[in-house]
Structure 1
């Protein structure tokens, strides 16, 4: 596993400098302005390098592991990669993009049989009917794929969230002897880590849909696989995480909550939920005066704290743990919505007062200078 990770990371580090030059020379850059918060032309499509490094590392080391077990998952990830690449090159219509994602989802859920089979007593529901399981899992994967795409709006944010989830999942799969899933997690981790080197603020390259859609789909599929295998472990088995359903949710709680939050805000304001704006959590934190790297670290740390909180609720059922987790996340979002406008109002008021202060200081300096010149001109009688 270590060699697979190191190979993917090393190949990624070698790929990115020439890729950045090529994308710049072809003018395949993300222009600043509008809702974009970067200030210079920055090449996109960074997903090309970290996905190629992942697949090359799998090709070199994969023969040691039972990769045929996940052949449909690998094929679906490759399909999403080409959908994202096509959208970055020439923008796809939303229905065509969803259609491509749906084919990949069917490949994973129906053919690969990676699905949510059980609610584990949440809302009184146990094992799911086959067709409901297919439909619900397909909906979850599509939601996770596009939710992850939506958080890719800040230097280092999406890659930080992805790395935390990949590290936890990869370690768990390895411990449970699920080597095919583990090696996929660690090669992806190496590729994304090499991307973060060039994506950390100030970013030299962005993921683009090539990277964010592919990584979001891969993470969603791996989380579903984790939930399935974790639930199948016997009671008391080492590293059997409980509550099972809540643990699966918390691994990608930030993109899920952010998507639900922005869609709700847009619909309440009479806007189409897919219309882009600056209502994401990272936009609010930026308005608080935080830098890109600070926001990425804060949200990454928050993700780890929430995961630790769910681990601390191991004695609770999903019927209690999931509402508690949801309540905490909603409360944090509510506080952010209340604090940010107050901070902005204070900042605007302060900036409005600045010219008056500067004008008063300028008048004071002019008065002192005038009095000094008058004093120098006056003749003083020393008798």
Structure 2
């Protein structure tokens, strides 16, 4: 995965080429490393999974999570902040239940990311690129799979989750929600889901006037609240927790969209000179101004 990201940073690959590379890397880990979902642990009444379905489902899940995390890497410090939260929580949980090896791996990632964030925090001096975001997304996805599997093998007196899939989703909640939200919006407009635009959550927060570091703090706080939510109700099953988590995030997204629209209208109303320029120069000028705003802020439109 590291070599795939490095190649894409040096010589841009097509979406198809990146997908093939990801399939090779992920399938190798899933099959040879036996990193897979062995069971649904009672979710939807399903226990042990057939071997072929276990492989297919795990590969699909890791590819989806890896690319979702890659898409969230649009602002200084954002991807690093979101990943370090998950690695710290996962590391703490793994060590607390006796899986020390996985705990040390998680804390190793967390330490490396914190060192990187010293130079990636806004205004950033260095950037992780696809090399970093793909590796972090892939590693975090694998750790989520191991979390579900370790949780399912623990004795009843341990700190176990009756909703392991909801907990795993909480560790990746911001990239997951953002990717699904963006894909749905693009599909409604008749665009390709992979077409770059400025409809990501972090773009909406920037339109409200927040800086890179403030956006990272806000989305990081949302992630922490979601993780605390699944920890607080860890005895409830996935059939309850997954819809509850989805409902909370969707409602939050709707509120964000409405607040953003309201704020943008206020900015336009309070900026008659800019409004006059847009009216005079037409749509092309409007698009150009929006692009310049995001370029000056250093936001990634993907």
Q: Which moved more, 1:248-257 or 1:112-121?
A: 112-121
- Are the equivalent residues in 2 in contact too, given 1:242–1:311 (CA < 8 A)? no
More displaced 10-residue stretch of structure 1: 95-104 or 141-150: 95-104
Alpha-carbon displacement from aligned partner over 1:73-124 (angstroms, at most 9, x marks no partner): xxxxxxx001100110111122221111111111221111111122233233
1:234 Cα deviation (Å)? 1.8
1:303 maps to 2:206? no
Deviation at 1:250, TM superposition (A): 0.8
Determine if contact 2:44/2:239 at 8 Å carries over to the other structure.
Answer: yes
TM-score after normalising by structure 1: 0.70
Other-structure match for 2:184: 264
Structure 1 alignment gaps of length 5 or more: 1-79, 357-383
Offset, 1:354: 9.2
Task: Determine if contact 1:155/1:201 at 8 Å carries over to the other structure.
Answer: yes
Give, in angstroms, the shift of residue 163 of structure 1. 0.3
Does structure 1 retain, via aligned residues, the 8 Å contact 2:268–2:274?
no
Residue number among 106, 117, 133 corresponding to 1:185 in the alignment: 106
Q: CA deviation at 1:353?
A: 7.3
Specify the alignment match of 1:101 in structure 2.
Answer: 22
In the other structure, the counterpart of 1:242 is 162
CA deviations 1:329-350 (Å, max 9, x no partner) are 0110111112211110111011
- 2:71 alignment partner in structure 1: 150
Q: 1:352 to 1:178 in 2, by over 3 A?
A: same
Normalising by structure 2, report the TM-score: 0.88
Please give the alpha-carbon distance, in whole angstroms, between the structure 2 residues aligned to 1:322 and 1:235.
22
Match of 2:120 in 1: 199
Q: In structure 2, how many angstroms separate the alpha carbons of the residues matched to 1:304 and 1:318?
A: 19
Q: Which string of whole-angstrom CA distances, capped at 9 and with x for unpartnered residues, describes residues 217-261 of structure 1?
A: 000001111111111112222x22332221111111111111111
Deviations 1:266-319 (A, max 9, x none): 111000000111000000000011111011001101101111111122232111
Does structure 1 residue 352 correspond to structure 2 residue 272? yes
Q: 1:120 aligns with which of 34, 41, 47?
A: 41
Distance in 1 between residues matched to 2:86 and 2:235, nearest whole Å: 23
Q: Deviations over 1:196-227 (max 9, x none)?
A: 00011111111100100011000000111111
- Shift of residue 180 of structure 1? 2.6
Q: How many pairs does the alignment contain?
A: 276
SS at match of 2:103: helix
When residues 276 and 178 of structure 1 are mapped into structure 2, their CA distance, relative to the original with a 3 A threshold, is same
Q: What pairs up with 1:45-124 in 2 under 5 angstroms?
A: 80-124=1-45
Tell me how far apart the structure 1 counterparts of residues 144 and 97 of structure 2 sit (CA, whole Å). Answer: 15
Secondary structure at 2:270 match in 1? helix
| Structure 2 equivalent of residue 175 of structure 1 | 96
Residues 44-91 of structure 1 deviation map (CA, whole Å, 9 limit, x = unaligned): xxxxxxxxxxxxxxxxxxxxxxxxxxxxxxxxxxxx001100110111
Report the counterpart of residue 206 of structure 2 in structure 1: 286
Q: Give 1:313's aligned residue.
A: 233
Q: 1:232 aligns to what?
A: 153
CA distance, structure 1, for counterparts of residue 134 and residue 184 of structure 2: 22
Identify which of 251, 255, 260 aligns with 1:331: 251
Rounded to whole Å, the distance in 2 between the matches of 1:160 and 1:234 is: 33
Cα separation, 2, equivalents of 1:327 and 1:122: 18
CA radius of gyration, larger in: 1
CA RMSD of superposed structures (Å): 1.6
CA distance in 1, matches of 2:124, 2:47: 46
